[in-house]
Amino acid sequence: EQHIYPTDTTVFGAPSDVDNNQRIIILLTPSIISGGYGYFYSGDIGGGNNADMIYCLTPQPANGITYASLRVGLFATLAHEFQHLINYNNKVLLQHTGGEEVWLNEALSFNAEQANGFLDDPGGPPERVFAYFSSPESFTLRQLSEPYQNGHVGVSYLFVRYLADRFGTGEYGKLVQSPQVGEANVTATTGIAYTTLLQDIAATMYLAGTGLSSDARYAVPSFNTRTHYGGTATGGAALTLNGPLYTTVDASSGAPSFSAPFATGGLRFLRVTKVPAGGTTLNLSVVGGTSDWVSVVRVPTSAP
């Protein structure tokens, strides 16, 4: 009441009140079916229990789920799921859309965890970004169908975090309260084409934290993509982020060649090394009838 509620409502917008009690019900139960700490079920809004509510897990010592193990993650879950409730109210009840696309909705909820001070908690953004950086070519930002994996969460969280750093934290509320969804929502609230922002975030993922660029378009100051996270203090996984994994391509022959698959809408990072003094030629060929683009960033040989 004193922290998560005012933070989420200030950052994202107003929640629904379908039962007219000016309350958000938190049902604490051992019967959580999501496999996590809790969830928001939109079927309860105007149907089901006809209540604005969030389900949260209770301790089950016999199953190894103790109060101590829940204490940190449960707060992050409340911040996360409350954003989903707020999002549903704004997108469905007020704007009468079919609801926000899952990738953008999830990204906003993981940003809600950070907005409330729960960045490095179990299952939080660093763990999801780590999964993405480990294989960026495997995950699509605008993932609309199952399986929706940690890597998908990582790239979507990072994209929305980038938007907030570049356009101001007011971007969160704009995305939630806009009558648009998905790509159109991002373009409308930022004033920049979604495809252009994709090229910017691609360069940012590599350049952020390296000191190679002072351009604000290629920075995410509120999330360090090259540092250590986790440990016993937060209960999160101990891990180190070093930017996205890339493939090194030797260009010493003057005609480098590389072929590899990547997810439609995904990114493949290449580091072209040993370029001859006279330069080299890069030819991009995509199999499968889809269009593609390439962003080229010149960096010193000593770059990380």
Burial of 102 (C-beta count, 10 Å sphere; 0-12/13-18/19+)? middle
Residue 58 carries which DSSP code?
P
Percent of the chain with pLDDT over 90: 64
Residue 7: how many CB atoms within 10 A of its CB? Answer: 16
Phi, psi at 39, each rounded to 5°: -165, 165
Q: What is the pLDDT of residue 278?
A: 84
Question: What pLDDT is recorded for position 128?
Answer: 95
Q: 169 vs 236, which has greater pLDDT?
A: 169
SS3 (DSSP) at 98: coil
In this predicted structure, what is the pLDDT of residue 303? Answer: 79
Match 């009558």 to its residue by tokens.
Answer: 179
**Of 202, 213, 209, 212, nearest in space to 223 by CA:** 209
Residue 277 — φ and ψ, nearest 5°?
A: -55, -30
Q: What is the pLDDT of residues 246-279, one digit of tens each?
A: 989 898 888 888 887 777 778 889 898 898 888 8
The pLDDT value recorded for residue 183 is 96
Read off the pLDDT of residues 68-117 as tens digits, 9 standing for 90 and up. Answer: 878 878 999 999 999 999 999 999 999 999 999 999 999 999 999 999 99
Distance CA 50, CA 32 (A): 19
Q: Are 76 and 116 in contact (CB under 8 A)?
A: yes
Angle in degrees, 0-180, between the axes of helices 194-207 and 182-190, rounded to the nearest 10: 80
Bridge partner residues of 249 (DSSP)? 272
Kindly report, residue by residue over 149-167, the tens digit of the pLDDT.
999 999 999 999 999 999 9
pLDDT band at 289 (very low <50, low <70, confident <90, very high): low
pLDDT over 60 (residue 232): no
Q: What is the pTM of this model?
A: 0.93
**In this structure, what is the dihedral angle of CA atoms 41, 47, 50, 51, given to the nearest 10 degrees?**
20
